[in-house]
């Protein structure tokens, strides 16, 4: 066998809808058996990046540029037919809202056996046996009975487990998860996160999980990539990104979390302003207008990606200052914005 | 002074003094009828006997999972849905009776919802939305608009840029600021925030939380803050109430409840929070399964099927909400002397 190639490689990925450049040059490598988290705020392009791996966009209304290699296939070169085999067979995906992802008029069991029989020549009975085994694998209680449930008859956590079972039905190498726990209750969220971690370990799955919740990312991922305005601004191991951040945006995200507040009554550190309008992207670093370390150069020129330490990459001109500011601890927050009379 | 000109409103000022709770809720019930397959009539016990006080000037956080009744409680407090039974006392006065009709109560109590877009009329500019309440209550049009602009400025939206915009023309964080401004237009004393920051991005959420703190200090507000995010609740609340399946499982000062929880459910909720430490990830989930269905809640203590401390008695006896410390009340037999639970503390001598 050849040396193991990465599970997913994105090279200068660019996705545009009309004039809006939603993903603007993303480079990302996910090794086999690794779990990667893409985090960012709404509109940062994280979900679009994920969906581009399966080419889930209408071709007439989107433009995908760059290279996408996943599970050893060149996704851009796949024909329609090959793409259908690739989706679910090599790479599969789970979504935020399983109630919307399942078809409401078929039982969950029917949908899983249908998926298996689409990809393999196998009898109905065997497909159902496989579905049952999958339900046991994702630990759905009384699986035999649950296979005959319609999606609305299951609770939210169970539906997400069923969704995972469906995604794993054809033994994919890569699992893409788009905000898989956002719609779930706290006590259920942690169960699903632990399940994903367990599947990664036991099945050797490569996982890319998109989330806006730093906590969820840390629970599952080996590596974290932080996205802002269609670009990856910082990548590294969970350890590097969360404990030793070097990009001002990552620092802002960590600081603005409510548990970071020092004492009751103290104010939260915030990132001023709001994300840029992607249709009118400013030149230079997209984070510059909100950055606490901004200087003239940032507004003119997009900083290159630099490697801070092995595997820890940051796109910022002033990584040393940013890191020093983070280590110095929270700076006193500015007084409240002036109040116009 | 109130801006509202019509009949003198005795409730815009403090009546009972600082020690009297601003809002006192007792025996609140709300069951929704549902028809299951087969025509059997059943009820969802959304709120099933809830008592609590909201003290003047505090922030009371309410946490719990979906289906625990926290949003139904908020709607009952606003009178958006009718309660089956129970009483609401606002500053010592029963709500819904002649002295305090709903109309004057609702001037004092306002609400901000989770979905910032759905809560604004899409055909009104934000300025019109904010001025609408005061106008209905008799404030002259121009004055109401002026006040709306002042409020917009106060919540950080420049009136020149934002007053004439429609809800779809502004971002989610900005819309939620508009909703907050609107809730303050009638100069309420109590504001209910039902998952008001949950739909916002983290960096915007922090901005809005800061704004809420500032407004509270400036206008002397009292908040009821409903959220499923314990970190946010810990940050903003003075006291925390934990709900499970329509009942209160624990209520007390937020430091006590969130740092030294007495109820096993609160403990499990806290343990479910993702850690932010890559070297110390959560190893096992404390709770298995989903919260049970409020249509047919378990007998006895509603938490006993998922509880680590459960004993046979927990399935038989419904635990009362009893005091275990200063201002700290818990409904768990294992924490109540003389309850029959083997882990219960010994009965205090004076009792």
Q: B281, A219: Cβ pair inside 8 Å?
A: yes
Best mutation target, A227, A270, A271, to test chain B (most B CBs within 10 A): A270
**φ, ψ for residue A178, nearest 5 deg:** -100, 105
Q: How many CB atoms lie within 10 A of CB A222?
A: 18
In chain B, which among 123-142 make CB contacts under 8 A with chain A?
none
Nearest to A257 among B202, B275, B288 (CB): B202
Rounded Cα distance, B63 and A168, in Å: 34
Taking the C-alpha atoms of residue A18 and residue A63, their distance in angstroms, rounded to an integer, is 8
From the list A239, A243, A258, the residue facing B232 with the nearest CB is: A258
Query: Min CA distance, A298 vs chain B (Å)?
Result: 21
Q: What is the mean pLDDT of residues B119-127?
A: 95
A149 contacts in chain B (CB < 8 Å): none
**Contact state of A187 with B272 under an 8 Å Cβ cutoff:** yes
In the structure encoding, which two tokens stand for residue A331, read together? 């700076």
- Give the span between the Cα atoms of A284 and A281, in whole angstroms: 9
HSE toward the beta carbon, residue A148, CA cutoff 13 A? 3
Cβ neighbours for B216, distance < 8 A, ≥ 6 positions apart: B59, B223
Helix (H, G, I), strand (E, B) or coil at A63: strand
Instruction: Give chain A's mean pLDDT.
Output: 89
Whole-angstrom distance, CA of residue B310 vs CA of residue B329 = 19
Q: Taking CB atoms and an 8 Å limit, are B274 and A193 in contact across chains?
A: yes
Q: Is B274 on the interface with A (CB under 8 A)?
A: yes
**Does the pLDDT value for residue A231 go beyond 70?**
yes
Cβ of B234 within 8 Å of Cβ of A258? The answer is yes
Interface residue A190 vs chain B (CB under 8 A): yes
Sort residue B155 into left (φ over 0), alpha (ψ -120 to 50) or beta. Answer: alpha
- Maximum C-alpha span of chain A: 75
Window from A104-113, A171-180, A325-334, B304-313 with minimum mean pLDDT: A325-334
Q: Which residue has the higher pLDDT, A264 or B191?
A: B191
Show residues of chain B in contact with A239, CB under 8 Å: 278-279
Task: Out of A238-247, A267-276, B211-220, pick the least confident.
Answer: A267-276
Question: Minimal CA–CA distance to A93: which of A16, A219, A196, A9?
Answer: A196
Closest C-alpha to B109, from B93, B122, B123, B98: B93
Q: What pLDDT score was predicted for residue A333?
A: 43
Structure tokens at A128: 């159902």
Q: Residue B162: what are its φ and ψ, rounded to 5°?
A: -110, -25
Give residue A264's pLDDT band: very low, low, confident or very high (50, 70, 90): low
Q: Could you give the CA distance from residue B55 to residue B17 in angstroms, rounded to a whole number?
A: 11
Indicate whether this complex's ipTM tops 0.90: no
Q: d(Cα A322, Cα B127) in Å, to the nearest integer?
A: 40
Task: For residue A78, give both structure tokens.
Answer: 């796949």
Q: Are B280 and B228 in contact (CB under 8 A)?
A: no
pLDDT at A331: 54
Q: How confident is the model at residue A335 (pLDDT cuts 50, 70, 90)?
A: very low
Answer whether A252 touches B (CB < 8 Å).
yes
Mean residue pLDDT of chain B comes to 89
Binding-face residues of A in 108-147 toward B, CB within 8 A? 141
Q: Which of the four pLDDT bands, split at 50, 70 and 90, describes residue B66? A: confident
DSSP assignment letter at B318: P
Q: Do A187 and B228 touch (CB under 8 A)?
A: no
The span from the CA of B205 to the CA of B49, in Å, is 32
Phi, psi torsion values for A26, nearest 5 degrees: -105, 125
Q: How far apart are CA B172 and CA B115, in angstroms?
A: 9
Residue A45 touches partner B, C-beta closer than 8 Å = no
Report pLDDT for B99.
86
The number of C-alpha atoms within 13 Å of B222 and in the hemisphere containing its C-beta is 19
Of A234-238, B92-96, B122-126, B186-190, the range with the lowest mean pLDDT is: B92-96
- Phi/psi for A70 (5° steps) reads -140, 135
Q: Is A264 on the interface with B (CB under 8 A)?
A: yes
What are all long-range contacts of B153-159, with beta carbons under 8 Å and residues at least 24 apart?
B153/A339, B153/A340, B153/A341, B154/A339, B154/A340, B154/B181, B154/B184, B154/B215, B155/B180, B155/B181, B155/B211, B155/B215, B156/A337, B156/B207, B156/B211, B157/B126, B157/B181, B158/A340, B159/B127
Sequence length of chain B is 351
Q: What is the mean pLDDT of residues B164-171?
A: 92
Average pLDDT over residues A61-83: 94
The residue-averaged pLDDT of B246-270 equals 93
Average pLDDT over residues A318-324: 92
How does DSSP classify residue B243?
E
Å from A67 to nearest chain B CA?
30
Mean pLDDT of B116-127: 94
Query: Mean pLDDT throughout B284-289?
Result: 80
pLDDT at A75 over 50: yes
- How many CA atoms lie within 13 Å of A121's alpha carbon, on the beta-carbon side? 0
Given a cut of 70, whether residue A340 has pLDDT beyond it is no
What is the Cα–Cα distance from A88 to A269, expressed in whole angstroms? Answer: 42
DSSP-assigned beta bridge partners for residue B87: B26
User: Pairing relation of β-strands A312-315 and A305-309?
Assistant: antiparallel
- Of all residues in chain B, the one with the smallest CA distance to A216 is B274
User: Which has the minimum average pLDDT: A72-81, B3-12, B160-169, B303-312?
Assistant: B3-12
Residue pointed to by tokens 């990465």: A6
CB B336 within 8 A of CB B318: no
Nearest to A270 among B203, B232, B285 (CB): B203
CB B305 within 8 A of CB B298: yes
**Residue B334 pLDDT class (50, 70, 90 cuts):** very high
- Name which of B203, B254, B278 is nearest A41 (Cβ-Cβ): B203
- State the average pLDDT over residues A178-190: 87
| Chain A from 15 to 44: CB within 8 A of any B CB | 41-42
Give the up-direction half-sphere exposure of residue B49: CA atoms within 13 A in the CB hemisphere: 7
Query: Average pLDDT, stretch A69-79?
Result: 94
Residue B19, pLDDT > 90, answer no
Q: What is the pLDDT of residue A337?
A: 41
The answer on pLDDT for A339 being more than 50 is no
């Amino acid at each position: 066998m050849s040396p193991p190639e990465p599970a997913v490689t994105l090279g200068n990925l660019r996705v545009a809808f009309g004039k809006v450049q939603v993903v603007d040059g993303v480079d990302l490598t996910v090794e086999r058996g690794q779990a990667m988290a893409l985090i960012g705020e709404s509109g940062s392009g994280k979900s679009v990046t994920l969906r581009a791996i399966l080419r889930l966009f209408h071709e007439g209304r989107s433009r995908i540029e760059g290279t996408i290699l996943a599970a050893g296939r060149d996704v851009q070169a796949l024909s329609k037919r090959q793409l259908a085999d690739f989706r679910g067979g090599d790479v599969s995906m789970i979504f935020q809202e399983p109630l919307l992802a399942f078809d409401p008029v078929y039982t969950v069991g029917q949908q899983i056996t249908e998926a298996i029989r689409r990809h393999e020549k196998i009898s109905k009975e065997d497909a159902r046996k496989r579905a049952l085994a999958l339900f046991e694998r994702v630990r759905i209680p009384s699986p035999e009975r649950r296979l005959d449930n319609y999606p609305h008859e299951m609770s939210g956590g169970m539906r997400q487990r069923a969704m995972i079972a469906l995604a794993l039905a054809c033994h994919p190498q890569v699992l893409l998860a788009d905000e898989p726990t956002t719609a779930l209750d706290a006590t259920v969220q942690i169960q699903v996160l632990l399940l994903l971690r367990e599947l990664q370990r036991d099945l050797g799955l490569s996982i890319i999980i998109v989330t806006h919740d730093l906590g969820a990312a840390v629970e599952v991922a080996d590596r974290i990539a932080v996205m802002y305005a269609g670009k990856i601004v910082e990548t590294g191991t969970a350890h590097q990104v969360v404990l030793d951040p070097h990009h001002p945006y990552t620092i802002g995200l960590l600081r603005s979390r409510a548990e970071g507040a020092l004492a009751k009554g103290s104010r939260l550190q915030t990132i001023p302003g709001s994300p840029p309008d992607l249709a009118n992207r400013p030149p230079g670093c997209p984070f510059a207008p909100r950055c606490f370390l901004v200087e003239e150069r940032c507004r003119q020129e997009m900083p290159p990606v630099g490697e801070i330490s092995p595997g820890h990459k940051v796109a910022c001109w002033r990584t040393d200052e940013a890191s020093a500011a983070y280590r110095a601890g929270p700076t006193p927050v500015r007084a409240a914005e002036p109040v116009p009379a | 002074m109130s801006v509202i000109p019509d009949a003198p409103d005795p409730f815009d000022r403090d009546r009972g003094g600082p020690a009297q709770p601003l809002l006192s809720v007792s025996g609140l019930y709300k069951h929704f009828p549902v028809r299951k397959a087969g025509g059997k009539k059943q009820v969802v016990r959304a709120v099933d006997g809830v008592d609590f006080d909201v003290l003047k000037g505090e922030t009371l956080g309410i946490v719990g999972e979906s289906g625990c009744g926290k949003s139904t409680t908020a709607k009952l407090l606003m009178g958006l849905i009718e309660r089956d039974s129970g009483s609401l006392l606002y500053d010592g006065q029963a709500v819904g009776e002649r002295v305090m009709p709903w109309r004057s109560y609702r001037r004092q109590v306002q609400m901000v919802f989770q979905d910032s877009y759905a809560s604004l009329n899409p055909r009104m500019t934000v300025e019109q939305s904010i001025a609408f309440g005061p106008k209905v209550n008799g404030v002259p049009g121009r004055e109401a608009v002026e006040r709306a602009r002042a409020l917009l400025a106060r919540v950080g939206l420049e009136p020149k840029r934002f007053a004439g915009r429609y809800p779809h023309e502004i971002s989610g964080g900005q819309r939620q600021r508009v909703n907050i401004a609107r809730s303050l237009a009638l100069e309420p004393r109590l504001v209910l925030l039902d998952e008001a920051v949950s739909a916002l991005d983290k960096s915007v959420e922090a901005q809005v939380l800061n704004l809420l703190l500032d407004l509270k200090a400036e206008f002397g507000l009292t908040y009821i803050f409903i959220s499923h995010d314990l970190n946010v609740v810990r940050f903003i609340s003075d006291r925390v109430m934990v709900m499970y399946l329509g009942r209160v499982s624990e209520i007390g000062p937020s430091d006590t409840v969130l740092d030294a929880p007495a109820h096993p459910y609160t403990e499990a909720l806290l343990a479910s929070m993702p850690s932010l430490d890559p070297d110390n990830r959560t190893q096992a989930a404390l709770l298995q399964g989903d919260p049970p269905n409020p249509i047919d809640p378990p007998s006895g203590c509603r938490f006993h099927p998922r509880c680590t401390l459960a004993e046979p008695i927990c399935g038989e006896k419904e635990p009362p909400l009893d005091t275990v410390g200063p201002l700290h009340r818990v409904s768990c037999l294992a924490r109540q002397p003389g309850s029959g639970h083997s882990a219960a503390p010994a009965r205090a001598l004076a009792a």
